[in-house]
Amino acid sequence: RNRSIGRAHSKLILIGEHAVVYGQPAIALPFPTLTVTCAVEEIDTGIYIESNLYAGPIEQIPERLKGLATCIRATLQEINKHYKGFLLKIDSKIPIGRGLGSSAAIAVAIVRSLYQFFKCDLSGSKLRELVTIAETYAHGNPSGIDMESVVQDEPIWFEREKGIESVTIQSPFYLVVADTGRAGDTRSAVASIKENIDKSPLETNQSIDKIGQYTYEARQALLQGNLNQLGNLLNLAQTELDKLGVSDKGINHLVDVARSAGAFGAKLTGGGRGGCIIALAENNVQAKEICQHLNQNGAVSTWSFKVEETQKY
């Protein structure tokens, strides 16, 4: 039978999350270690989903996955070709709710698989439009950074309304990712910052502006290959995220562990209130050592990977 596979990788926000919702820049990186695939197969009738989150007909998809169902329907409508029915087998290695962009990655893999099935060209803008449908359900008020960083294979500089720019990485480094084992709730974290802006606008906006400033400085540090400075900036951003109320005890603990184990800097990544932290290391040996300390001190999973220098043209 005719069968097609769509793929997407996960993402990490290096710096700038939450402030990015308010127009500040953020830097995101592809996280190639964790990926999702969607295999589509034509069947006689109906649309069925098979995944570790849900298996069954699209009509009975649970409320929290409704965005994906809407995205699938919108994609088929957009492609506008005859079909009998489909089985979509989604296989995601990306833990959900950890700030790794799992919802955007699943949607990207689904849209790519369906376009590939019908051998239709998929433009970048159409992909974004269709994935936004799913992301709006998952997030409420998504800045769009999740989707952009999942679509792109390079580090990105992202500003809401302005779109993306490339980021130059002068010298390679290692990132450690550690999972608190608890799902965060990006939607409520974003909503709580909105409430804080209404209640205490001065402090809240100050933190948002500072995170924006650190993000500009981080871009410079990447350009100069200055890991010490980059590490400092990650730490400073973490302080502000904590003030904003989107960090928590478990995150702060892992951040402390990573720093004690020699990381240049560490912070939460993504929505916070659970989810993952990232830590900056110079080389593989150091990254592995930080992973080991994190594993022994409460992290449920750890990964480390090399962020390559960007190609010079």
**Span interacting with ligand PMV, options 11-19, 75-83, 111-119, 233-241, rule CB under 6 A:** 11-19
Using the minimum distance from each CB to ligand PMV, give the nearer residue, 40 or 272.
272
Nearer to ligand PMV, 90 or 145 (CB): 145
Phi and psi at 289, nearest 5°, equal -65, -40
CB of 26 to ligand PMV, least distance (A): 7
- Residue count, binding to ligand PMV (CB under 6 A): 16
Segment lying near ligand PMV (by CB under 6 A), choices 18-26, 83-91, 205-213, 216-224: 18-26
Residue among 136 and 297 whose Cβ is closer to ligand PMV: 136
Binding mask 255-284 for ligand PMV (x = CB under 6 A): ---------------xx-------------
Rg (CA), the chain: 20
- CA–CA distance, 135 with 129 (Å, rounded to integer): 10
Asked whether the beta carbons of 130 and 107 are under 8 A apart, the reply is yes
Q: Nearer to ligand PMV by C-beta: 130 or 268?
A: 268
Burial of residue 81 (number of CB atoms within 10 Å: 0-12, 13-18, 19+): exposed
- Which positions from 110 through 149 interact with ligand PMV, judged by CB under 6 A? 139, 142-143, 145-146
Stretch binding ligand PMV (CB under 6 A), from 13-21, 161-169, 254-262, 298-306:
13-21
Q: How far is the CB of 191 from ligand PMV (least distance, A)?
A: 11
Residue 265's alpha-carbon distances to 89, 119, 151, 177, 238, in angstroms, are: 39, 45, 27, 12, 9
Q: First vs last Cα of the chain: how many Å apart?
A: 43
User: Does the protein bind ligand PMV through residue 179 (CB under 6 A)?
Assistant: no
Closest approach of ligand PMV to the CB of residue 60, in Å:
26
Q: Tell me the three state secondary structure of residue 43.
A: strand
Note whether 107 and 75 are within 8 A (CB): no
DSSP 161: T
Residue by residue, what is the 3-state secondary structure of 64-120?
HHHHHHHHHHHHHHHHCCCCCEEEEEEEECCCCCCCCCHHHHHHHHHHHHHHHHCCC
The smaller minimum CB distance to ligand PMV, of residues 40 and 148, is found at: 148
CA-closest candidate to residue 11, choices 100, 90, 75: 100
Q: Which of 14, 178, 190, 278 forms a contact with ligand PMV (CB under 6 A)? A: 190
Edge-to-edge order in the sheet of strand 301-307:
265-269, 276-281, 173-179, 301-307
Which of 6, 8, 9, 18: binder of ligand PMV (CB under 6 A)? 18
Of the candidates 255, 39, 31, which has an alpha carbon nearest to the alpha carbon of residue 246? Answer: 255
Q: Is 21 in the site for ligand PMV (CB under 6 A)?
A: yes
When binding is defined by CB under 6 A, the residue of 17, 148, 179, 240 that contacts ligand PMV is 17
Q: Does 208 contact ligand PMV by CB under 6 A?
A: no
Q: Does 99 bind ligand PMV (CB under 6 A)?
A: yes
Contact 290, 176 (CB under 8 A): yes
Kindly tell me which of 140 and 172 has the beta carbon lying closer to ligand PMV. 140
Measured from the CB atom, the residue of 17 and 217 that comes closer to ligand PMV is 17
Q: Binding residues for ligand PMV, per CB under 6 A?
A: 13, 17-18, 20-21, 99, 101, 139, 142-143, 145-146, 186, 190, 270-271
